[in-house]
Amino acid sequence: MFQIRTDLALEAREMYRETTQQEIPGVEVEQKEEDFALVTRVKVLDQQGSQIMGKAEGSYITIEASGLKKADADLKDSVSQLLAKELVHLLPKKNNLRTLIVGLGNWDITPDALGPQVVSKVLVTRQYFETYNKSEDATMTSVSAISPGVMGTTGIETGEIIRGIVEKTKPDLVIAIDALASRRMERVHTTIQISTTGINPGSGIGNKRKGLNQEALGVPVLAIGVPTVVDAATLANDTIGLVVENLSSQATKGSDFYKMLKGMSDEDKYSLIREVLDPYGANVIVTTKDIDMIIKDVSHIIANGINIALHPGIELKDVNRYLQ
């Protein structure tokens, strides 16, 4: 069956409900309205839920702050703090936590550069712990960070690189940052997804990678992602949906044509979409002209959130100041 590509658990669930008008079995959902953001917790509880969702079992927390479209710096700070709060709940309960931050994606391709940009803005501290041979500090925990590049530029699966580094440096936790695709442009730049499942093959824009998850790395992996593009297939699909809906409303209810429209199968839609997109080529994306600025902006918000969550001595006031 054709599925509009989304990396957001929230949207996978939305799509299922749109088609079936039911909640996905094996999936639990909880929503909470904050002043400036809607927080949705999707828990994929079992294999059935996982298969329907196309997402690994685990928790997916989505922060949607539609106000982020406007340049409101106070809101940005609030989102960083909310992200920090959510992260803190997910951190392993352990003193002197040691974290490796991994920025996935290609820094030379703007919509794919979110991970590397976050990495360039997080506060890296592991070298001090190593140099002074200490294991604890009142104001910070040990953080290392790397942006390994993508298979097209390294020739090596990112998972292999990270496994090598994890074996050498033995962190307690990996946080992986990646650019995502959404099915709705309104979520591009305004939505942050945190998941406890790590990164699993096939997700993320760019080449498929082997997993970055607890199974592969031997330590828990939190994934943080922000949609930076919409799949072009989504735009085509939206258009088809709207045309069909529009025509249906004009056709006599119950007429042959009405039935035909209503019965248009996913396969039919999919082959239409493929026909539409074929001349557009493989790498086609839908995004906004100001994607360069957006990536810069949102990578700040994420890096701030991580810095606050990991370093007890850092408050928002400080992180804004440490970062350029």
**Binders of its own copies among 200-259, rule CB under 8 A?**
205-206, 229-230, 232, 235-236, 238-240, 242-244, 246-247, 250-251, 255, 257
Q: Is 43 helix (H, G, I), strand (E, B) or coil?
A: strand
Task: Please identify, among the stretches 30-38, 40-48, 209-217, 270-278, the one whose residues bind its own copies according to the rule CB under 8 A.
Answer: 270-278
Binding to its own copies (CB under 8 A) within 30-59 occurs at none
b/e map 20-42, b = 16+ CB within 10 Å: eeeebebbeeeeeeeebbebbbb
Q: Which is nearer to its own copies, 52 or 291 (CB)?
A: 291
Cβ 283 to its own copies shortest distance, Å: 4
Within 10 angstroms of residue 98's Cβ, the number of other Cβ atoms is 21
Among 120, 137, 172, 210, binds its own copies (CB under 8 A): 120
Q: Is 226 left (phi over 0), alpha (psi -120 to 50) or beta?
A: beta
Q: Which is nearer to its own copies, 63 or 273 (CB)?
A: 273
Does residue 184 interact with its own copies by CB under 8 A? yes
Cβ 35 to its own copies shortest distance, Å: 18
Among 163, 172, 248, 316, binds its own copies (CB under 8 A): 163
Among 55, 126, 209, 311, binds its own copies (CB under 8 A): 126
Distances (CA, A) of 196 to 59, 223, 229, 279: 6, 7, 23, 38
Backbone φ and ψ for 15, nearest 5 degrees, come out as -65, -40
Does residue 182 interact with its own copies by CB under 8 A? no
Does residue 96 interact with its own copies by CB under 8 A? no
Residue 323's Cβ-count burial label (10 Å; 0-12, 13-18, 19+) is middle
Q: For residues 21 and 134, what is the distance between their CA atoms, to the nearest angstrom?
A: 56
Q: For residues 16 and 6, what is the distance between their CA atoms, to the nearest angstrom?
A: 12
Task: Please identify, among the stretches 42-50, 80-88, 139-147, 193-201, the one whose residues bind its own copies according to the rule CB under 8 A.
Answer: 139-147
Does residue 114 interact with its own copies by CB under 8 A? no
Binding to its own copies (CB under 8 A) within 64-93 occurs at 69, 71, 73-74
Backbone φ and ψ for 265, nearest 5 degrees, come out as -80, 165
Does residue 293 interact with its own copies by CB under 8 A? yes
Q: For residues 131 and 128, what is the distance between their CA atoms, to the nearest angstrom?
A: 5
